[in-house]
Amino acid sequence: MRNVTICGAVAVALLLFGVLVGRMGTTDRAQAQAVNPTGEARSGAEREHALAEIQNDPLAPVIDRKGADVTLVVFSDYQCPFCRKMHPVLEQLMHEDSKVKVVYRDWPIFGAGSVEAAHVAIAATYQGKHAAFNNALMDTPGKVSSQTIRAAATKAGLDWSRLQTDLKTHKGDIDAVIERNGRYAIMMGLSGTPALLVGPYLIPGAIDLAGLRKAVALARTAPDGAAN
């Protein structure tokens, strides 16, 4: 997905999130894309409920911080080149801003390797190793395969035998969270990865560190999505 500027991202966010959030309850792609052309906002309660669902999930991997005041949700695919470019940007942001909570929404849209990687990434949370695996695989160049996934798991210190057990034992739960991620992406009108939801502001594409800092600052100063 192409890069977007923060100004464009915020403008799109105010339209898409303010309008599409009201349709989060539907599972029909056509309905989700039928945005009210007047831009009429849905009720605050509906928007807040939808945002809370996207930001909070018992199975979505998360890096939570004590006292976090901004939640950043990342929709990504391990085979997406722009997601790989965004990874060090996110890492730098988390390094310098201890009050940003990050929620990872795996949206595997680039084929079988992406699907396998998403399953392993989520399963890694049962060993407390998601961050390490995410870093290892995002730093692995080239096409994602079973071999590169296992190499990343080894680099992350995952117990491979236990990982296989967790993938089988928790398959239903892992499938369910990936399905939810895809449904949320469709309802938000996303057309590809990466996409970032910074507080209530949608950035539908890659963005540089300076732009991401501005988005976080905006989420702090106007957390209700009412930025001018």
Instruction: Provide the whole-model pTM.
Output: 0.81
CA distance 177 to 38: 33
What is the pLDDT at residue 43?
62
The helix, strand and coil proportions of the chain, stated in percent and rounded to the nearest 5, come to: 55, 10, 35
Q: Domains of the chain: which residue ranges? A: 6-221
For the domain 6-221, what is the CATH code? 3.40.30.10
pLDDT on residue 138: 97
Cα angle 9, 69, 23 (rounded to 5 degrees) comes to 50
Q: What is the pLDDT of residue 225?
A: 76
Round to whole Å and give the CA distance between 150 and 120. Answer: 9
CA angle 95, 96, 101 (to 5 degrees): 70
Ranges of the chain whose pLDDT falls below 50: 1-41
* Structure token pair of residue 166: 């967790």
Q: Which two tokens stand for residue 164?
A: 């296989």
pLDDT in tens, 119-171: 999 999 999 999 999 999 999 999 999 999 999 999 999 999 999 999 999 99
Report the chain's terminal Cα–Cα distance, integer Å.
26
pLDDT at 147: 97
pLDDT in the model for residue 133: 98
